[in-house]
A = this chain, B = another copy of it.
Amino acid sequence: VSPLIRKLECGAPLSDLDRAAIARAVADRRQAGPREDLIRQGDRPHAMHGVLSGIACRYKTLPEGERQIVGLMVPGDFCDVHFHILGTVDHSIATIGACEIALVPRHAIDRLISEHPSVARAMWWASLVDEATLREWLLSMGQRSAIQRMAHLFCELRLRMKLVGLAEDDTFDFPLTQAELSDVLGLSSVHANRTLQELRGADLITLRNNRLQIHDPAALQELAEFDPAYLHLESRQLA
């Protein structure tokens, strides 16, 4: 099954008809290379993007070039459910590694939403979870130490990947370079490197060949003071 459907099913129960309609809407796909901008700040996007494989990110930059990644999209996530309301976009969206992207034209979204209320509700749920995640990241950034932030991110990604069936054995693809990881966490890349080594040294994780393995999820969650409530999973797919 498409991860997009899997993800939406977490937000609302879907009928076979709903699922079929989603499948039709996301039939148009394209491959995107690594580090490719999908949407640039100021654009007026005409289609919605959904991530089928790989990881994409939202980011904002400052005049001097400092970059902050303000969101990660894993398979199953939509990038821009609602941009047409705001006219222009206030941030950019780019792939991290290579990605497969579903393109949903505006009229297809509109039809999907108006004809399938459950799907509309599920997409609404997903965007509220995104917003809650943003708040949790802000909490992290403001109050957690570097190592806690990093641990917290890994805990979050573990659950999000698990949700779409991509985290067997607490191991999943993690295509971010350390520089990108530091842009997510608001650290310098040097410090990100040292923090990563601390986590490795404590035998909590292994990161090799763009695969991240979490050895002891419970210990990592305790270190991070991770509480999954903000993901609103309701135990539908946890473990």
In the complex with contacts A62-B143, A85-B128, A131-B131, A70-B230 CB distance below 8 A: no
A225→B135 CA distance, assembly (Å): 22
Residues of B within 8 A of A41 (CB): 229
Residues of B within 8 A of A128 (CB): 82, 85-86
Chain B, Cβ-Cβ closest to A142? B186
Report if A16 contacts B (CB, 8 A): no
Residues of B within 8 A of A230 (CB): 90
Report if A162 contacts B (CB, 8 A): no
Residues of B within 8 A of A71 (CB): 135
Residues of B within 8 A of A141 (CB): 138, 141-142, 186
A60: which of B64, B139, B232 is its contact (CB, 8 Å)? B139
Report if A170 contacts B (CB, 8 A): no
Report if A87 contacts B (CB, 8 A): yes
Chain A interface residues (CB < 8 Å from chain B): 41-42, 58, 60, 62-64, 66-68, 70-71, 82, 85-88, 90-91, 121, 124-125, 128-132, 134-139, 141-144, 185-186, 225, 229-230, 232, 234
Query: Can you list the 3 inter-chain pairs with the closest CB atoms, starting with the nearest?
Result: A142-B186, A141-B141, A68-B142
In the complex with contacts A86-B125, A90-B230, A135-B60 CB distance below 8 A: yes
Question: Once the chains bind, are A137 and B139 in contact (CB under 8 Å)?
Answer: no
A85: which of B67, B121, B138, B144 is its contact (CB, 8 Å)? B121
Residues of B within 8 A of A136 (CB): 60, 90
7 contacts between A and B (CB under 8 A): A63-B225, A67-B143, A70-B135, A70-B139, A85-B124, A91-B135, A131-B131
A186→B124 CA distance, assembly (Å): 30
Residues of B within 8 A of A143 (CB): 62, 66-68, 186
Question: Once the chains bind, are B132 and A90 in contact (CB under 8 Å)?
Answer: yes
Question: Once the chains bind, are A68 and B124 in contact (CB under 8 Å)?
Answer: no
Residues of B within 8 A of A42 (CB): 229
A90: which of B82, B135, B186, B234 is its contact (CB, 8 Å)? B135
